[in-house]
Amino acid sequence: MQSVIIGTGPAGITAAETLRRLDPTGSVVALSAEPFAPYSPAAMADHFLNGRDTTLFWKGSDVAECLGLDERRGSTVTAVDTDNHEVVLDGGGRVAYEGLVLASGSRLHAPLEGADLPGVLDFKSLRTATELIQRVRRGEARSALIVGNGFIGIELSLLLADLEVDVTVIGRRSWIMPRVLDPVTSTFAEKALRARGVTLRLGVQADAFVGSPSVTGVRLADGQVLSADLVVAATGVKPHTEFLGGSGVVTDWGVHVDDQMRTSVPGVVAAGDVAEAADWLTGDRFVHAIFPNAVTQGPIAAANLLGADLAYEGAESMNSLKHLGVPIVAMGTIDSPDDILRWDSGDHLRSVYLREGTIVGAQLVGDIRAAGVYRSLMLRRADVARFGQRLVDPGFGIGEVVWDAMQPAGLGVFA
Ligand SMILES: Cc1cc2nc3c(=O)[nH]c(=O)nc-3n(C[C@H](O)[C@H](O)[C@H](O)COP(=O)(O)OP(=O)(O)OC[C@H]3O[C@@H](n4cnc5c(N)ncnc54)[C@H](O)[C@@H]3O)c2cc1C
């Protein structure tokens, strides 16, 4: 088959591997808007801090050559002509396909006045992140304002603090990473951030990026203007779907896919941050923009493009803060639990969110060794009501679950 992949991030490159493995003689064209070898954005902070390339170019810088891909860097897709089975490039060139993988990921979403002012930076792609870090390395930035206290804003604040930039994070909600962490877990992370020198201004509304001719600061809802050498938007991400207008591929927030990662157009599949797949828990379509979902969806989408019949079990939410110094893992959801069990020692925290006796989410701080046990019980929708408060005891772990499963009326976790 003649396959074309739009995007060589984690979803695109794992799709390419699968296409090559299942269709060794087919041609695979891999298009990327950026000038880099396939990379993992999750490793950018480590790369800039420690100079490590192996985790950034996680499949090897020569992966395209090794897989025999026709990799075309700096090729931005502007449209998909599904009638003629062609992808249209920014220079007007066209690339024909028999099967198409949409793996174009996500971009910064900054619905804020002044977000398009020259100098507003972001840490979403290697291109924009390189520009940002180069300004720090050139000594142009002693201070930084980051608008947004989600995952990317927090990860960047730690990197900039380590690079000795005086950094302030502005967040609308009164705790950090509000979509992922609950306020109790957040207090542990906030303490660690402050200890690292990050200033947090939470519960503060940023109204606009300001400056002329380029950005110099941020105006808050109370009229106050904060200024800094670097002004960064970390206000969220949005799937890259702009080039799909008129293609017939149904999109909403992201590209609609069924449980086989197929889009509404035959011969076109989607994977990763661009795909709005079913959530494993609710079944509702949602974009959980994280690495594990991208690298699971990529191979499934590619295999199904070649005629396989693989079902995707649903996207999950799973986050860990890598550079905080305090291990934190958050999985599942914190929305509408009927019960929350907690164990809090001051240094360590275990919180488990329950609905109808099953785990729908868990958050651990400090000792995170039991994360796999909670995840396994959650994904199996095991009835854990019998454990009661013991579920969050520091000693609760795999031994407890194994023992229970061996009882006549046990969980059946290992069945
Ligand atoms: C700073 C940061 C830290 C992160 N940390 C974590 C973490 O710790 N754990 C975790 O699970 N996840 C993390 N993530 C999220 C994770 O990186 C993403 O979920 C993952 O990269 C998604 O992979 P993807 O292939 O779908 O998209 P992307 O990695 O965004 O790749 C998309 C590709 O498509 C290309 N593209 C886009 N539009 C076009 C076009 N029109 N034409 C041609 N090419 C195009 C881009 O150039 C790029 O190559 C982090 C993300 C960031 C930014």
Q: Are residues 86 and 137 in the same domain?
A: no
Q: Are residues 15 and 88 in the same domain?
A: yes
53 in a domain, yes or no? Answer: yes
Phi, psi for residue 350 in degrees, rounded to 5:
-130, 125
Report the separation in Å between the CA atom of 32 and the middle of ligand 1, taken as the mean of its atom positions.
Answer: 11
313 in a domain, yes or no? Answer: no
* Dist CA 36 CA 34 (whole Å): 6
Pocket test for ligand 1, best of 290, 320, 322, 324 (most atoms within 8 A of CB): 290
Q: Are residues 248 and 335 in the same domain?
A: no
Using CA positions, which residue lies closest to atom 5 of ligand 1? Answer: 42
Q: What is the pLDDT of residue 408?
A: 64
Using CA positions, which residue lies closest to atom 27 of ligand 1? Answer: 105
Q: What is the pLDDT of residue 397?
A: 73
Of residues 309, 342, 329, 155, the one with CA closest to residue 232: 155
Q: What is the pLDDT of residue 323?
A: 85
Domains contained in the chain, number = 3
With H, G, I as helix, E, B as strand and everything else as coil, classify residue 406: helix
Q: What is the mean pLDDT of residues 138-154?
A: 96
Q: What is the pLDDT of residue 407?
A: 67
Chosen domain end from 204, 235, 266: 235
At a CB cut-off of 8 Å and minimum separation 6, what does 299 contact? 14, 15, 17, 18
Atom of ligand 1 nearest to the CA of 77: 42
Query: pTM of the prediction?
Result: 0.94
- Residue 414: is its pLDDT beyond 60? no
- We report the CATH number of the domain holding residue 396 as 3.30.390.30
Report the separation in Å between the CA atom of 401 and the middle of ligand 1, taken as the mean of its atom positions.
Answer: 36
Q: What is the mean pLDDT of residues 141-145?
A: 97
242 in a domain, yes or no? Answer: yes
Atom of ligand 1 nearest to the CA of 32: 44
Report the separation in Å between the CA atom of 129 and the middle of ligand 1, taken as the mean of its atom positions.
Answer: 12
Q: What is the mean pLDDT of residues 140-169?
A: 96
Q: How confident is the model at residue 303 (pLDDT cuts 50, 70, 90)?
A: very high
Q: What is the mean pLDDT of residues 187-198?
A: 96
Report the separation in Å between the CA atom of 272 and the middle of ligand 1, taken as the mean of its atom positions.
Answer: 8
pLDDT tens per residue, range 26-80: 999 999 999 999 999 999 999 999 988 999 999 999 999 999 999 999 999 999 9
Q: Are residues 246 and 98 in the same domain?
A: yes
Using CA positions, which residue lies closest to atom 6 of ligand 1? Answer: 42
Q: What is the mean pLDDT of residues 243-268?
A: 97
Q: What is the mean pLDDT of residues 173-182?
A: 94
Which tokens in the block code for residue 396?
């609760």
- Residue 354: is its pLDDT beyond 90? yes
314 in a domain, yes or no? Answer: no
pLDDT tens per residue, range 382-408: 999 989 999 999 888 766 666 666 666
Report the separation in Å between the CA atom of 33 and the middle of ligand 1, taken as the mean of its atom positions.
Answer: 12
% of the chain at pLDDT higher than 90: 89
Q: What is the pLDDT of residue 415?
A: 44
Q: What is the mean pLDDT of residues 273-282?
A: 93
Q: What is the pLDDT of residue 406?
A: 67
Q: What is the pLDDT of residue 281?
A: 86
Q: Are residues 81 and 170 in the same domain?
A: no
Concatenate the DSSP letters of all residues of 208-269 into one string. EEE-SSS--EEEETTS-EEE-SEEEE-S-EEE--GGGTTS---BSSSEE--TTSB-SSTTEE
Range of the domain at 100: 2-107+238-305
Q: Are residues 227 and 127 in the same domain?
A: yes
**Whether 201 contacts 89, CB under 8 Å:** no
Q: What is the pLDDT of residue 404?
A: 66
Query: What's the whole-number average pLDDT of the chain?
Result: 94
Report the separation in Å between the CA atom of 358 and the middle of ligand 1, taken as the mean of its atom positions.
Answer: 32
Residues within 6 Å of ligand 1 by CB? 6-12, 31-34, 41-42, 44, 76-77, 103-106, 123-124, 152, 155, 240, 243, 272-274, 289-292, 294, 322
Q: What is the pLDDT of residue 108?
A: 95
Of residues 59, 55, 77, 79, the one with CA closest to residue 69: 59
